[in-house]
Amino acid sequence: MRTLYSLLITLALPFIVLRLWWRARRQPAYLQHVSERFGFYQKQTPPAPLLWLHAVSVGETRAAEPLARALLERYPDHHLLLTHMTPTGREAGDALFPAGTPRVMRCYLPYDYPGAVTRFLAHFKPRAGVLMETEIWPNLVHACKARGIPLYLVNARLSEKSFAGYQRLASLTTPTLRALSAIAAQSGDDARRFEALGATSVMVAGNLKFDVAPSAAQRALGEQLRESFGARRVLLAASTRDGEEKLLINNKLHELPGTLLVIGPRHPQRFDEVAALLDQHHIRYQRRSASETVCADSQVLLGDSMGEMAAYYTACDIAFIGGSLLPFGGQNLIEACALGKPVLIGPHTYNFAQATEGAVGAGAALRVTDGPDLQRKAAALLDNPKVTQRMSAAALAFSGEHQGATRRLVDLIYF
């Protein structure tokens, strides 16, 4: 089955290259470091010994930060290689570990072609590898197993939807999962789904995202932003996805009395698209990238900046978590809870089901059913400080109760 899989992805190579070009039309960085995606790296010999940590994009990279720092502390004689699949993930890695950071390097993980993963492993010679969340690449896992490189899947999550898809490919998925050294799942439900697919050595370690602490610099920036907003209340729409900004506008979230709406699109390639939408509806807005004082008559601040979401959370009164009003599966609400912010969340949260249900059950978050319900509940919360204070305390308690995954994972990783 793995041979057939390799043949199929080889046949798909022209479409993969075309997809890179297509994505580069909106995000030119996709055409940088292309050779790395096929396992070709600079000639100089990487430092040794080396540990390898793979985080696909922004969310996984930020979640991986406490584990990366803990591994560097546990193994002071080792270097750390961070690999990514998206330019935004690579930029997030640069922000967490700027160029010149001792003992940290980064590159793209190659596509799952046998020759590419062979070149990657031969070049870097990692002592052990760690994959974040749901990165199940058959050829990569097989190559590590064949070379005796321990490979761990950590912070692992598997929604019912993904489980059904992997179940249909069990003849490929099951041997791949069994070749991993261990799987550290976020929750008991995730662990049971992995075991139902035939995985062995599965444990529940919790969610690394609860261990991510906003930096002092981000908190300070958030406080500066809040001061610049004046006396207005602040409603943050965080990590919004395509179509959700229109729902915010149609339901007049920008017209709530005495309130500034901050919109932070999930993907940077959509910043200009959202700005055009605001222009189309004649909404008074400013762009965060302009670094200007927010005018008293501005209805919306467009958060068109990278790496500042923690600052936006610090500055807001209430946070709506995007990707959940429309069926995108939701986004992570843990960062908002860690900063003690009351959360509103839509009906579509299958990608973060465990954390979302936990936050709702703890009284830290409220469900909304659609755009009009979001408008009603946001307005009600903004007008009721006692309720928001109670939700804020619940959010902090919920976040604190679920910390500790980093310690458990560092103890698990062995080589």
Residues serving a catalytic function are 60
* HEC assignment per residue over 113-174: CHHHHHHHHHHHCCCEEEEECCCCCHHHHHHHHHCCCCEEEEEECCCHHHHHHHHHCHHHHH
Asked if 345 and 368 touch (Cβ cutoff 8 Å), the reply is: yes
DSSP-assigned letter for residue 330: -
Token pair, residue 410, equals 């560092």
Q: How many residues are recorded in the chain?
A: 415
CA pseudo-torsion sign 336, 337, 341, 345: positive
Which helix (DSSP H) or strand (DSSP E) does residue 104 occupy? strand 104-108
Token pair, residue 274, equals 């959202």
CB atoms within 10 A of CB 55: 32
Kindly calculate the radius of gyration of the chain based on its CA atoms and give it in whole angstroms: 22
Q: List the beta strands (DSSP E) in 249-309.
A: 259-265, 285-287, 300-302
C-alpha 384/C-alpha 366 separation (Å) is 14
C-alpha 54/C-alpha 38 separation (Å) is 16
Q: List the beta strands (DSSP E) in 220-293.
A: 233-240, 259-265, 285-287
C-alpha 344/C-alpha 310 separation (Å) is 17
C-alpha 404/C-alpha 354 separation (Å) is 16
